[in-house]
């Protein structure tokens, strides 16, 4: 199964393609409801035994983390904080290796990707109508259950309107009320104006995409409309200006790649990877593309011919990409540099 020349993830692919009936049924429900843009996944499950991969699948996560890379210098770069005098440590080779290993583990924790969810369904349920209360009040009353131990998603929050209607609070009202009673660090009651379009443009001009995404994670819930909108706008801007390197070695790179591959906008990213001589990452990207769009022509060709490395990129370039010329040029440049370094 895993032949001599085959990459390490081929064995994982066979395992992941096995039917999901072995798992607990609750987990499947969990995944189909909570994770991924797989609205039609239940229908797919009935049709084929290979389901559409979720963002949280092991294989997908391993591919994405491989593409993200792990640059310790960038992850642990100095930040603006209260300065202390520097400490110097004298270490043996073994101690240095141990310290590097610990640093890599901590970096992996920091690079865990935030979840990618579909937008939450709006809540608009009327629980009661008491017409006798009409005209008694001029304001709405919000009743929140503030039991400390209930999870926030199971909290009952209801609103009594001046017309006497008792309804469940909308998602925005829920978030606001929960922030009032159980405030979280970094989250404001009113979303700051940085998330408006004009201010986002100013921030993007200064190349502060990572800051915007971190603020977005602190402020909004992952399935809220604002979170998804800000993330998509950031990814679009990065794709437009080819600033992929800003997010490399951060926890947002995986989300960006997932967004681009789902919308088949991988050309810019592919060119960037080839120009930085990251051929392994390029092959990972194309394999992820084939996993998500198994019906495309390059996926079928790749499956028939069992191509790897630069040949896979060439196959993909001829069939699926729109910027064929640019990718060809980049590949040529890469092969020339390879040849010259081999000659040396």
Partner 1 sequence: MAASRGTMLLRRAASSLPGLALLPRLFWAQAAPAASLLRLQRPLLRVFSTETDPAASAEPVAFDTESRFKEKPWEYLETEEYIERYGNKPVWFGYRRNHKGPIPPQKTRKTCIRGKKIAGNPCPICRDQKLHVDYRNVKLLEQFICSHTGVTFHPTRTGVCMKQHKRLTQAIDQARDHGLVSFHIPLVTLQGKDYTNQHQAVTKTPPAPSLQSQAPWYPWYEWQQPPEKDIARIRRIYKDYLKEETGPA
Residues near partner 1 (CB under 8 A): 29-30, 33-35, 79-83, 110, 112, 114-115, 117, 120-121, 123, 125-132, 151, 153-157, 168, 174, 184-186, 192-194, 199-200, 202-203, 206, 208, 211-212, 214-215, 217-218, 222-223
The residue among 207 and 311 lying less far from partner 1, judged by its C-beta, is: 207
User: Smallest distance, Å, CB 19 to partner 1?
Assistant: 22
Rounded to 10°, the helix 279-292/310-319 angle is 50
CB of residue 83 to partner 1, shortest distance in Å = 6
Report the alpha-carbon distance of residue 64 to residue 66 in Å, rounded. 5
Least distance (Å) from partner 1 to the CB of residue 170?
A: 10
Q: Report in angstroms how near the CB of residue 33 gets to partner 1 at its nearest.
A: 5
Q: List the helix and strand counts (H, then E) for the chain.
A: 16, 4
Considering only CA atoms, which of 28, 22, 58, 55 is closest in space to residue 44? 28
| Cβ 279 to partner 1 shortest distance, Å | 31
Between 87 and 147, CB nearer to partner 1 = 147
> What residue ranges in the chain does DSSP mark as E strands?
126-129, 141-144, 157-160, 165-168
Nearer to partner 1, 132 or 139 (CB): 132
H/E element holding 310? helix 310-319
- Judging by beta carbons within 10 Å of its beta carbon (0-12, 13-18, 19+), is residue 175 exposed, middle or buried? buried
Specify burial of residue 21 (Cβ count, 10 A radius: 0-12, 13-18, 19+): exposed
Q: Closer CB to partner 1, residue 123 or residue 324?
A: 123
Minimum CB distance to partner 1 smaller for 243 or for 323:
243
């Amino acid at each position: 199964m895993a032949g001599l020349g085959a990459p390490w993830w081929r064995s994982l692919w066979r395992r992941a393609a096995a039917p999901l009936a072995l798992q607990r049924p609750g987990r499947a429900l969990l995944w189909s409801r909570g994770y991924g843009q797989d609205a039609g996944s239940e229908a797919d499950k009935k049709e084929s035994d290979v389901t559409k991969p979720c963002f949280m699948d092991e294989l997908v996560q391993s591919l994405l983390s491989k593409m993200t890379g792990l640059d310790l210098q960038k992850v642990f770069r100095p930040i603006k904080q209260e300065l202390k005098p520097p400490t110097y440590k004298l270490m043996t080779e073994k101690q240095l290796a141990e310290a590097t290993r610990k640093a890599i583990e901590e970096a992996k924790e920091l690079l865990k990707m935030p979840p990618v969810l579909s937008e939450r369904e709006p809540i608009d349920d009327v629980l009661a109508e008491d017409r006798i209360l009409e005209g008694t009040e001029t304001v709405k009353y919000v009743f929140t259950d503030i039991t400390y131990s209930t999870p926030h998603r199971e909290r009952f929050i209801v609103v009594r309107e001046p017309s006497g209607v008792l309804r469940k609070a909308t998602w925005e009202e829920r978030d606001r009320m929960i922030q009032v009673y159980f405030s979280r660090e970094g989250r404001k009651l009113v979303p700051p104006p940085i998330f408006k379009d004009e201010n986002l443009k100013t921030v993007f001009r200064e190349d502060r995409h990572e800051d915007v995404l971190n603020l977005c994670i602190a402020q909004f819930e992952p399935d809220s409309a604002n979170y998804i909108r800000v993330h998509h706008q950031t990814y679009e801007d990065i794709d437009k200006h080819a600033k992929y390197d800003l997010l490399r070695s951060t926890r947002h790179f995986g989300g960006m790649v997932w967004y681009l591959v789902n919308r088949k906008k991988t050309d810019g990213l592919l060119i960037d990877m080839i120009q930085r001589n990251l051929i392994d990452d390029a092959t990972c990207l194309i394999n992820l593309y084939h996993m998500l769009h198994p019906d495309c022509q390059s996926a079928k060709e790749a499956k028939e011919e069992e191509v790897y490395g630069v040949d896979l990129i060439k196959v993909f370039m001829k069939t699926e990409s729109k910027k064929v010329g640019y990718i060809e040029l980049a590949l040529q440049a890469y092969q020339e540099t390879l040849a010259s370094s081999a000659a040396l």
